[in-house]
Structure 1
Amino acid sequence: MSRLIVYVILLVLVSCANPLEKKLVEPTNQLKKLNWLGGFWLDTTTFNSMKPSKKTYERWNWFEDSIVGSGGNIFDLDTSLTENILIKQIDSSLVYIVRVKDRSMLSYNMVYNSLDSIVFENKAHDFPQKISYKKTNSNSFLIYLQGYSYEMKRELRLSYFRADF
């Protein structure tokens, strides 16, 4: 429980911090495999058929011994933040902690990590129970959100490309 409180405080501090003041550091151990994740990423295809068209984004930065991310939506010129994410190394494993807007914080434990993909799982959550990131090349990656919702198997695939400014 005390770890959860520390993570909540860390997420609040990081989300309020000035991005120019964040110190980029060399990742350690399991985090090194996720070097490719840093930067600004955009998905323009998954929800593009919506009117007005919707794009999703993720922004990832290295912050001490963690990777700090945020995700959101872009409708035309309007941007909204929908989630704050923290990938934190604890001992020899990684934990994916997400705070979705207007919901409680969730954590997912790493079940697989390689140089081009990582999988986190939380079997107790309604949906998704599994979150997978798969690097397809140096400028793109896929996210798979998988699990069961109302006893039906579901999978959502998001396709991101590098859009660093």
Structure 2
Amino acid sequence: MKKYLILLVFGVAFHLSANAQKNSSLQQFSFILGNWEMKTTKGKITESWVQNKVELSGKSYRHTLNGDSVLMETLLIKKINGNFYYCSNVNGQNNGETVNFKLISTENNTFVFENATHDFPQRIVYQNLGKDELLAWIEGERNGKKGKSEFRYQRKK
């Protein structure tokens, strides 16, 4: 009986430790949670992120100056086969399929996701600039030319 109790205690401790590690790994992306806004000459772009136990999900909208809005992209950050991926489904692109970008770097509060086989972009990057500021960009090559677009977001209050 004592032997089974010890095994049960170790089993529960292992399960709790594994769940804590999984959540703490996802915690590295917690800076992105909430509502973000970037003003443009044509209106604004917003991104909103929430978290559940296994992934972060986001949506990006383009808002015109007259108040109309269009869903541009549905997003996920989740683990697939032990690696984190940024999963993007852009309206009207990629035949409605989700494109996955693998996390390749997390240095200096900068999270780089890459899919070298995608037409454009090949990289999606999020940089944590503090509590109320977020810099994101997409980059890569298209038709042999390098390109980059930046999105400097402010936290919506």
TM (norm. structure 2) is: 0.79
In 1: Cα distance, 2:131 partner to 2:108 partner: 12
Which ranges in structure 2 are unaligned for 5 or more consecutive residues? Answer: 1-19
Residue 113 of structure 2 aligns to a residue in which SS?
strand
1:78 to 30, 45, 68: 68
Q: Is the 8 A contact 1:29 1:92 kept in 2?
A: no
In 2: Cα distance, 1:129 partner to 1:100 partner: 14
The answer as to 2:56 corresponding to 1:61 is no
Which ranges in structure 1 are unaligned for 5 or more consecutive residues? Answer: 1-25
In 2: Cα distance, 1:73 partner to 1:39 partner: 17
User: Between the two proteins, what is the percent identity of the paired residues?
Assistant: 24
Q: Count residues with an aligned counterpart.
A: 133
In 2: Cα distance, 1:114 partner to 1:34 partner: 13
1:133 to 115, 120, 126: 126
TM (norm. structure 1) is: 0.75
Partner of 2:35: 40
Q: Which stretches of structure 1, 4 residues or more, deviate above 3 A after TM superposition? A: none
Letter in 1 for 2:88: V
1:74 Cα offset (Å): 0.6
Give per-residue Cα distances to partners, 1:70-126, cap 9 Å, x unaligned.
001010211111110010023542111111002221010010125722110000011
Greater share of helix: 2
Q: Is the 8 A contact 1:30 1:113 kept in 2?
A: no
In 1: Cα distance, 2:145 partner to 2:107 partner: 29
5 Å-filtered alignment, 1:88-103, equals 88-103=78-93
Shift of the 160–99 alpha-carbon distance from structure 1 to 2, 3 Å rule, reads same
In 1: Cα distance, 2:88 partner to 2:56 partner: 12
Q: Which has the higher contact order (CA 8 A, sep 6+)?
A: 1
Q: CA RMSD in A?
A: 1.7
- The structure with the largest alpha-carbon Rg is 2
Partner of 2:103: 110
